[in-house]
Chains A and B, each alone.
Chain A
Amino acid sequence: MDRLDGFMKYNRQTAPYRPVSERIHDYNDINTYLVEQDIYKQAARCMDCGIPFCHSLGCPLNNIIPDLNKLVSQGLWEEALRRLENTNMLPEITGRICPALCEAACTLSINNSPVTIKQIELAIIEKGYKEGWVKPIIPKLENNKRIAIIGSGPSGLAAAQVLRMKGYDVTVFEKSFGLGGILRYGIPNYKLEKWVIDRRIELMRKSNIKFETDVNIGEDISYRYLKTRFDAILLTTGVGSPRDLQIPGREAKNIHFALDYLQKSNCFLSNEISLEDSISVENKSVVVIGGGDTGSDCVGIAIRQKAKEVLQIEIMPKPKEWNFSWNPEWPLWPMILRTSSSHEEGAKREWSILTKKFIKEGNKLCGIHCSRLEWIQSGNSSSLKMVEIPGSDFIIEADLVLLALGFVNSEYQKLIEDIKVDRDEKGNIKIYAKYMTSVNGVFAAGDVNTGISLVVKAIFQGRESAKAIDEYLSKI
């Protein structure tokens, strides 16, 4: 690939999803995969830019994407794996579910179509597993210092691995039965099959990372105890408080938070709970309120649960439609209409809709009172102001509503109370330089610190907080 003109020879090629008609009947992975030969070509489209925007402005992990592409195009998969692992502790996760900010920032996104960075990443790690190159961590030197990580989501898992590599004795505490946090309980199987997480956990166990599940720190084990047993504590508890919609009729049955719905669906599939304890939408008219990714995940699950119909509504206006392969807002993540795999599977979507009231029959939901909105430029700022269109009120029939309106602050936990860490006005735990909270020796990373965000950003925080912990403990 010394000519670096692959982008002129090959078009961008991604593997399609399985056909809708097939995939909606199961919860299995919806993706298909390119063969190795095609991956080489895709990697050869990388121009190895003098300023790789993918790496610097795109990827929150700062994966050194051009190096990976180069190695893959040369067929040096193992070396590529080593370099990928150096920055990304969970590439098999990001390779599946990351929105790929890197591709939006790829220089080819200016006027061509980006390198399929995410697909290449996944190919590297999966080949690594297949060839047995992904191995348990064996640190060069054990340093006998103990770290407690609270929460086994992406941040916690990333931090655990980095710390283990540096020779720490790491224990991960998880209040749920299964490990992986949002990965296990928030993301539908068809996007991320759970064996992927199990495989990583298994590897981590072999690396002598300890996992304690079903333990709620602060309740089952006290902070005081933890403090005496560990040299440092890292909080990666994520965020758990969904934003609610306090309008009349909210108390009706059949109004659920999206995350509860997703979680129960996953738990049911993994036989953690019974059908009765889960939320089934079979044959129901489902309305998902909120146009984001969580909402879209709900759509996919609802369709698989054979809902009668699924409607997703959004208060914000419909983003601009964009049918080109380049990014109009390069190198930023563009505000354009996105159609997820779930939407393709048969959901309707509407925008600029204000939800005013839930209509009940008894305490059973039967519809939603809505109106339409117009968004207008307010003054000279670029922000929009919403104005209700007079007389546009209408009613949507609904048997079940899922609220996917985002999250407000980190879940209240006794632990955090006990530790008495500073929190910001949104309720997130404040960190000061180098990931330490207001309490010496207690660190925080991931959503618990930033509020709800991307998995890839959580991994970044996990990685960096681990380095900070190492630095902190090396100085003591």
Chain B
Amino acid sequence: MKKLENFGLYQKSFEHDSCGVGFVASVNGEESHQIVLDGIEILKNLVHRGALGGDLMTGDGAGILVQIPHEFFVKVTSELGFNIGDKQTYGVGFLFLPKEKNLREKIEGKIEVIVKKEGGNILGWRDVPTRVDCLGDIARKEVPNMRQLFVSFPGFAQQELERKLYILRRRIEIEVSNRAFYIPSLSSLKIVYKGMFVASQFEGFYPDLNDINFSSPFTLVHQRYSTNTFPSWSLAHPFRYIAHNGEVNTLKGNVNHLNARLGTLSSEVFGEDIKKVLPVIIEDGSDSAIFDNVFELLVMAGRSIEHVMMMMIPEAFGNKFHISADKRAFYEYHSAFMEPWDGPAAIVFTDGIKIGAVLDRNGLRPLRYIITKNGKVVLASEMGVLDMPEEEILEKGRLAPGKMFLVDTNERRIKKDNEIKASISRQKPYRRWLEENRIELKGLLQPPGPVKVHSDSLVVRQKAFGYTFEDLNMIIIPMAENAQEPIGSMGDDQALAVLSDHPQLLQRYFKQLFAQVTNPPIDPYRENLVMSLMSFIGREQNLLEETPKHCHQLKLAHPILTNEDMIKLINFTEYNFKTCVVQAIFNTNNCINLEKAIEDLCINVEMKVDEGYSIVVISDKDIDKEHIPIPALLATSAVSSYLVEKGKRHLVGLIIQSGEVKEVMDYAVLIGYGASAVNPYLVFETIANLKEEKNLFKDKKLEVIIDNYITAVKKGLLKIMSKMGVSTIRSYKTAQLFEAVGLNEDFVNKYFKGTPSRIGGIGLDIIEKETLIRHGTAYNDNNPSQILESGGKYHYRVSSEKHLFVPEAIVALQKAVRSGDYFLYKEYSQLINNQNHHLCTLRSIFTFKNKKSIPLEEVENIEAIMKRFTTSAMSFGSISKEAHETMAIAMNRIGASSNSGEGGEDEERYNLLANGDNRTSMVKQVASARFGVTSHYLTNAREIQIKMAQGAKPGEGGQLPGHKVNKIIAKVRYSTPGVMLISPPPHHDIYSIEDLAQLIFDLKNANPKARISVKLVSEVGVGTIAAGVAKGKADTILISGGDGGTGASPLSSIKHVGIPWEIGLAETQQTLILNNLRNRVRLQVDGQLRTGRDVVIGALLGAEEFGFGTVSLVTLGCVLMRKCHMNTCLMGIATQDEILRRNFKGQPDHLINFMRFIAQEVREIMAEMGFRNFNEMVGQQDRIEFNKEIKHWKAKNLDLTKIFMKPRVKKGEVYFCNGNQENNFTSFIDNELIKQAVDVLEGRKENIKLFTPIKNNNRSVGAKLSYEVSKRFASKGLKDNNIYCRFKGVAGESFAAFLAHGITFELEGDANNFLGKGLSGGRIILYPPKDFISKSHNNIITGNVNLFGATSGEVFIGGMAGERFAVRNSGATAVVEGLGDHGCEYMTGGCVIILGSTGVNFAAGMSGGIAYVLDIDQLFDTRCNLEMVELESLASQRDIKFVYQMIKKHIVYTDSPYAKMIIDNWVEMLPKFVKVYPIDYRKAIERIREEEKAKESEVLTITEEVY
């Protein structure tokens, strides 16, 4: 197997995978070869969920897991001359071995010895026949030698035999440590066949599978899509127990916790043998492989697979869920010793007898199933993976979030979620155990009381812990006042911590990680029911047992403790549960340095653990002039990792009591590195001081403001967790979801092991120095001023923190662009680039090398270079119409492009102005809220950009408050003036890399001429994500710096998330080159780009295009007030205020001048470097080096060599994009439809009716047809039903996406996810096949996330839909017979009528539109999220008539018997309807009606449809 090499910034551990999974099973346990063939068929039909490597042949991996085909093995072994005995009495191992004969034989010999030592017999070896010729180049090179090993253990059977085989396998794995050696499976029950294939290559490769004797009662399958292209044979799924479509976001925390628990592991069934399996986890493996390792251990120790799955992937069990008390107790009990393995997941799992599937708590992966009359179950990521006669089908369903599904071939029946969980939850008296043992301190977490303020020393202590006046005003006061994290705007141009001249708190060197592409962030506000801050802290018991003592721990509702909580806790001594305090301070007078102090601290804490304390408080409360605090983060991480190493971490809860903690980031790092809870005593003192002595917070009580502050921290923590897709604090703890920037390897390895830190930097000595400076300044007797420093992190202050944009630079730049004077521009660029005095960014410490200057005239001209420039995405809404259009005009004049941002675009702008100017944004953004994304919008783009993340707040959504949504904004966003608009954190149609590939596919169809670009934000591993995106066939990838701008974002996100683009871009370039993907995808970069030098550095690191955001605004008048979020922009740029907008003085020429200046400066540097044309320069990473003249005390420690490593390419290949993505995008069906409808499209014919069968691999059907319509007829489309298409079969994903007005799609059959995505006026009709026997409203007919971002049109669904129906619908009208969780989420307009049940969290974030729900059991209000909506019955005739008519229409279209029944019983049914009416929307509608009435009272007619 190929060694996955690390190169430059690329590391194999960054890889992600995702995919299609499924199984087919015979409920009665009957083995058949057909089941195996069915499995392979499913794999083939999931092939579009996988991906191909750089050779376009090598798949990322595929595999199957089956019950051991006994008959088959009897046959083949007897041919080989040995006897394997009876069914399930022997073990079969599938082995990947090295190709070299000697090595292989050596390993085999070793294995035989181990088998004997364990008391087993070798029955024989078998070479597995393979046909390598059907593989791709990459896979073929790496194909291992495959052999099967047959062993027996006399006297062992069933569970014992399996356990024996497990121990054997672990011993072999440990003792034969060779990279080219791997055991896919070794079991008496099941066997895995897998490899680096795409599904179609699979059956050809393993002839075994075609043998008629090769039979099984079930087949579990997996098709992999990996972000990297060094897929390894061993990382293909399935593993021994599971196949996983998803990602474990909290892996590092889970592994850390588990490794600690190994210290006290014991098991009756294993006895002494438990030692042989240690360490349980093979850390080299993928997240799924590690999950499998732990799953296996827990199953082997005696728990059932369902039980283990419930422990590791618990469903959400917060109070908002109406679930059984026993089940809630089960989950709570287990959370005391196992944290969730959190992340999106669709897992299929089996122990060889039972086979099941489970979804994560948020349902972020799809799983659909069908059950047939004759007892076959087919479950897969999509519907339609196996052809099945409709009349055979008994039930069509889907797994709901957190739910489980199981086929028990022994008991010969299907077990659904309720049954499984009820029996597991009651197998032990968990509820009673909890009640008797759980500790909840009375009064703990009650409203806080008075706080003692030591005002004489307050300022000094604040200074010692790094407080500034700015921290009070911008962070602490707003949090205490509003119970919200403070908001800011624009980017972060403060110097990196490692380049700052001032001492920095340690956490400033850390950046939060966030989810992009491979897993979705969660919405912590609208979907907070899946999130939890609850945790247990204290002493954990043996993982492999279950006793009442296991939950004898302290339960905390959230991790922030008040000063009173601390007193209570420390004084609490009952039930053998003790707490002690250890001081984390040191005294330099005693010649103790920081290193020694940390050592002492670790030993002290360990002693306390050994003495039996359940909780240790690490405190810096006792600081004074002589006693210096150990940085809180350092103390936490050092102690926590020390205890992990000693195997004692799980025996104690760590509470950090620190004065350093102020903002949300401080809490996040502490918890992320091991704190169970935090007591920010100095914040409380500060707040009390502000209230009592400064007289702030006038009418609020102290306990209220402290409570507000705590609430703000809680919200902030939820937000930080959710942006990584983590839903519980239990799994966030110690998950280390951070990246360090500017800390050296020794330091990180010692105290923050496992945290990526890729450019070296400072170590403990400087950290100590910074701490001492801070302390020294605070306690300096010579410094009389009893006030805090002003600050300078957020707002510029002279002689404080450096910022990239100094005031002089702004003045010079504006003068330059207004006068067109290049010399003035050079003054400006000198101010920015001045590298010896103005170190702010990484690039400021770079210098060029190997210069070979050429005459300037020989360099490519300005015009050509400017075409590579773009203005970064800024939505109309965040900035004014004037500013937005000026940028578009300027960029279009020079043949470059501007970016629409996420707010849609007024159609008006597609018309040229009288002077020929074009106001169209050439780049159109598609963001999570899909505002204004219609077929027509997409048709008018030259490039479509999918915004996965934004530098200022990656992983977060946003909201535009109602008062900013004026008429024109509402128009382009297809919403209602005055109604708040929410952008969700995730794209609800992108929960995984294969979903992104699907969206790219959708957009390529929606506009076949546009380039598709994907915007990512720089973080560790962005290169591998980019590789995945390249494989998903994006044309451009944008790497944004973490410092990029925003119109509004929490300050902590602006500051602490995302890393400099220099690292991310270099990593991306290296990874793409190494994967042979670079030449087909263009790279763009943005993030605080300012000068020509920045462009050249970007180019050398791999970018060929460049985005300018903030600086473009500065050319148009922006002076960095940083008030974009307040609507008070004095320059008329970031405001919608009519009066302020008149202040806008920017001219297209100003921006054009700037672009010309930049291009000219680029040319000058190119001439100096010796580059004639731009492409020559791209990717020449080795032409940059560290500027050795820089002697900055911190910066000089950086090691940038990884950034400057240039991978080698094959001769003749290049470092830039010189090709295209292979274009196999166009959907076959659409081309046919377009051909047949050409007469209508060309206006020669009024209308046409078409028919075609359809399959699940026909995806995005309708998008391209709509493009043809929009191109010709603009947004109004055709007349109703002008193109009428009938389909029969199972439609693939994104059926009828962006369907334009005048097109009707009628589908008899089933649909998959994303039906009607971006619906743009068309009509969709869906009903079950005529021969389907079950009731429509009880069966799932379409998948998840239907009608996402629909803007208009009609939909009639004769059956149930999955999760998130009509998310962000802003105008479509739909009738559906039932739906899953999160229905109508974020809806802003349109209307949905639901004739059946709904899942939970209905109407979350629904700010507009109306839903009518037939609430049969009158429990709808318990499932509805009532935060923004009111529920009422249908009172007005208008409502009644409307609903009645829509149902009638539904009957006409779908012939639904259920709907008929409702109409037949209308009198009884009507009172059961509930109208869901958003509060703001009602007000807005009423206001609009009033206005209309006032305006045109003479023509007042009540229209039927006002929506």
Contact = CB atoms under 8 A, between A and B. Distances in A.
Interface string A1-17: 01111011000000000
B787 A86 contact: yes
B784 A166 contact: yes
Interface in B1112-1169: 1119-1123, 1126, 1128, 1130-1131, 1137, 1139-1140, 1143, 1145
A331 interface: yes
A52 interface: yes
B782 A166 contact: yes
B423 interface: no
B490 A50 contact: yes
A108 B807 contact: no
Interface string B775-816: 000000110111100100011111100010111101100000
Given A64-B797, A70-B473, A165 B1121 contact: no
B433 interface: no
A331 B812 CA distance: 11
Contact of B785 (A86, A108, A331): A86
Given A5-B1128, A76-B695, A331-B807, A49 B785 contact: no
A82 B796 contact: no
B478 interface: yes
Interface in A119-162: 137, 139-141, 143
Given A57-B811, A79-B694, A331-B811, A52 B469 contact: no
A107 B1133 CA distance: 14
Given A5-B1126, A50-B794, A55-B798, A107 B1119 contact: yes
Contacts of B786: 82
Contacts of A167: 782
Interface in B810-828: 810-811
A459 to B, nearest CB: 16
A141 B694 contact: no
A51 B796 contact: yes
A453 interface: no
A49 B696 contact: no
Contacts of A52: 795-797
A293 interface: no
Interface string A62-82: 101011001000111001001
Contacts of B469: 67, 83
Contacts of A4: 1123, 1126, 1128
A107 B787 CA distance: 27
Interface string A443-467: 0000000000000000000000000
Given A8-B1128, A50-B795, A53-B807, A67 B782 contact: no
A50 B787 CA distance: 22
* Listed residue (B695, B796, B810, B1143) with the most chain A CB atoms within 10 angstroms of its CB: B796
A112 B1140 CA distance: 10
A7 B795 contact: no
Nearest to B477: A2
A301 interface: no
A86 B784 CA distance: 10
B481 interface: yes
A415 interface: no
Given A56-B807, A76-B694, A112 B1130 contact: yes
B787 A57 contact: no
Contacts of B790: 64, 67, 83
Contacts of B478: 2
Contact of B1122 (A2, A8, A49, A86): A49
Chain B interface SS verdict (over half): loop
A74 B796 contact: no
Contacts of B473: 70
Contacts of B796: 50-52, 56
Interface string A95-135: 00000000000011011100000000000000000000000
Contacts of B811: 57, 331
Contacts of B787: 79, 82-83, 86
A50 B781 contact: no
Contacts of B1143: 111
Contacts of A50: 490, 794-796, 1120-1123
A107 B795 contact: no
A140 B781 contact: yes
B523 to A, nearest CB: 26
B1126 A3 contact: yes
A47 interface: yes
Given A49-B1119, A107-B1121, A141 B1130 contact: no
Interface in A1-50: 2-5, 7-8, 47-50
A49 B1126 contact: no
Contacts of B1139: 8
B1123 A53 contact: no
A139 B1121 contact: no
B696 A141 contact: no
Given A110-B1119, A141-B782, A166-B782, A51 B807 contact: yes
Contacts of A56: 796-798, 806-807
B1130 A53 contact: no
A110 B1128 contact: no
A57 B1119 contact: no
Interface string A433-448: 0000000000000000
B798 A2 contact: no
Nearest to A166: B782
B807 A110 contact: no
A11 to B, nearest CB: 13
A149 B1158 CA distance: 52
Contacts of A143: 782
B1130 A7 contact: yes
A76 to B, nearest CB: 6
Contacts of B784: 137, 139-140, 165-166
B1119 A53 contact: yes
Contacts of B797: 52, 55-56, 64
Contacts of A76: 694-696
A238 to B, nearest CB: 26
A67 B796 CA distance: 12
Given A4-B1126, A86-B785, A51 B696 contact: no
Contacts of A474: 782
Contacts of A53: 807, 1119
A26 B659 CA distance: 59
A110 B473 CA distance: 26
A31 to B, nearest CB: 29
Contacts of A67: 469, 790
Nearest to B694: A76
Interface in B1007-1059: none
A69 to B, nearest CB: 12
A12 B811 CA distance: 24
A49 B1120 contact: yes
Given A51-B1119, A70-B473, A57 B807 contact: yes
Given A51-B1120, A86-B785, A165-B784, A108 B1130 contact: yes
Nearest to A108: B1130
Nearest to B482: A2
B709 to A, nearest CB: 16
Contact of A57 (B695, B808, B1128, B1130): B808
Given A79-B787, A110-B1131, A140-B781, 5 more contacts: A7-B1128, A50-B796, A50-B1122, A56-B806, A110-B1119
4 pairs of A and B residues whose beta carbons are closest in the complex:
A50-B1122, A50-B1120, A51-B796, A62-B798
19 contacts: A3-B1128, A4-B1126, A7-B1130, A8-B1139, A8-B1140, A47-B1123, A47-B1130, A48-B795, A49-B1122, A50-B795, A50-B796, A52-B797, A56-B798, A57-B808, A86-B787, A107-B1130, A111-B1130, A140-B782, A331-B811
Interface of A: 2-5, 7-8, 47-53, 55-57, 62, 64, 66-67, 70, 74-76, 79, 82-83, 86, 107-108, 110-112, 137, 139-141, 143, 165-167, 331, 470, 474
